[in-house]
A and B are shown apart, each in its own frame.
Chain A
Amino acid sequence: MFVYEKKLQYPVRVKNCNPKLAAVIISQYGGPDGELGASLRYLSQRYAMPYPELKGLLTDIGTEELGHLEMVGTLVHQLTRNLNEDQIRTAGFDAYFVDHTTGVYPQFASGYPWSASTMQVTGDIIADLTENLAAEQKARLTYDNILRLSDDPDVNNVIRFLREREIVHFQRFGETNQSR
């Protein structure tokens, strides 16, 4: 059972509209290494896990990823609020706009819709945990690339936070081979 808590994990306050940046950040909402795939991967892997620390860790990290999904959606929403006529024609955002206006839709930066083919649930502990180590690194590097593309400090603070969480999650998944 999930209970909604009406707050974000980390404050998101983006003053300036920037649809071009929103069009790349959307990839961490529904892209190949984004937060939607992360949360579904971990929450779905739980059922085949035999050990309590793995059931707990996948539940806790999977739940945190849902909170990150909400933060990324918030970034996209705030970067596209109060768009003017010129801004909807921004290169890189016009293609998104024609399909979704300023709604937040889970897709890759390239426009491909979110796909379960980006994640795996194998039912095998070693295969799943190794997949998760790779997944955390891929999410981390996507945040690196967003930092390379963004010069908005309001956005960068949030991205830095999310990036650091990937490092901590990598550490915890890696420790499970030695925690018993």
Chain B
Amino acid sequence: MNPDNGINTRPCADSCGTMPACAPLAVPYVPFQQQGSLKYDQTNALANGTVFPSLNLPFHLKVDAAGLPANLSTQLQALLFVVTELGLYLDTHQNDVEAFQLFQQYTEMARKAKKQYEEVHGPLTSLSAGQDKTYRWLDDPWPWEFQKNEGD
């Protein structure tokens, strides 16, 4: 868990959300996630498929936590995953200032991690391929190709 989770004044438990007191009929509603929800750090977010413990609702027969390799590639995936996840959250919570600040921090961390990753493994986009010394875009492995976890 992220140590600096801000607990604002929230009417419900973390695993619950709010519903409108009065709402138009004949429209489907899902409880609205409250601001200041608890959050995992990026490694646990990637392993669980969400940054929010309250939304982590695993299939009851298979709940073993995923063991992810600790390498540059997974670190980058974890940071970019949190950027994606917080981006979706902000799409429906655009006024959550604290979540936006966290989003800004993660985008900055992801930007640095991307640069570090590309120095070792080659370009992630054609834009960065053009900033390389030689044309390394075609270098193996491509993302779908099997790689062992070692030697990353």
Contacts and interface: CB of A to CB of B under 8 A. Distances in A.
B143 A147 contact: no
B59 A179 contact: no
Given A61-B88, A130-B28, A177-B23, 19 more contacts: A3-B126, A4-B126, A6-B123, A6-B142, A8-B77, A9-B81, A11-B73, A13-B149, A57-B88, A57-B92, A129-B28, A144-B59, A148-B61, A160-B49, A160-B59, A163-B58, A167-B55, A172-B91, A173-B30
A167 B50 contact: yes
Interface of A (DSSP majority class): helix
A171 B27 contact: no
Nearest to B62: A147
Interface in B132-152: 137, 142-144, 146-149
B64 A153 contact: yes
B49 A179 contact: no
A7 B76 contact: yes
6 contacts: A8-B144, A10-B49, A11-B68, A160-B66, A172-B89, A172-B91
Given A3-B127, A7-B77, A178-B29, A168 B49 contact: yes
A7 B124 CA distance: 7
B145 to A, nearest CB: 8
Could you say which interface size class chain B belongs to? Answer: 35 or more
B131 interface: no
B146 A13 contact: yes
B28 A174 contact: yes
A7 B152 CA distance: 14
Contacts of B56: 164
Contact of B46 (A10, A14, A129, A144): A10
B125 A5 contact: yes
Closest 3 CB pairs of A and B: A174-B30, A164-B49, A74-B144
Contacts of A15: 146
Contacts of B31: 174
Contacts of A7: 73, 76-77, 124, 143
Nearest to B52: A168
Contacts of A10: 46, 49, 77, 81
A18 to B, nearest CB: 13
A122 B120 CA distance: 46
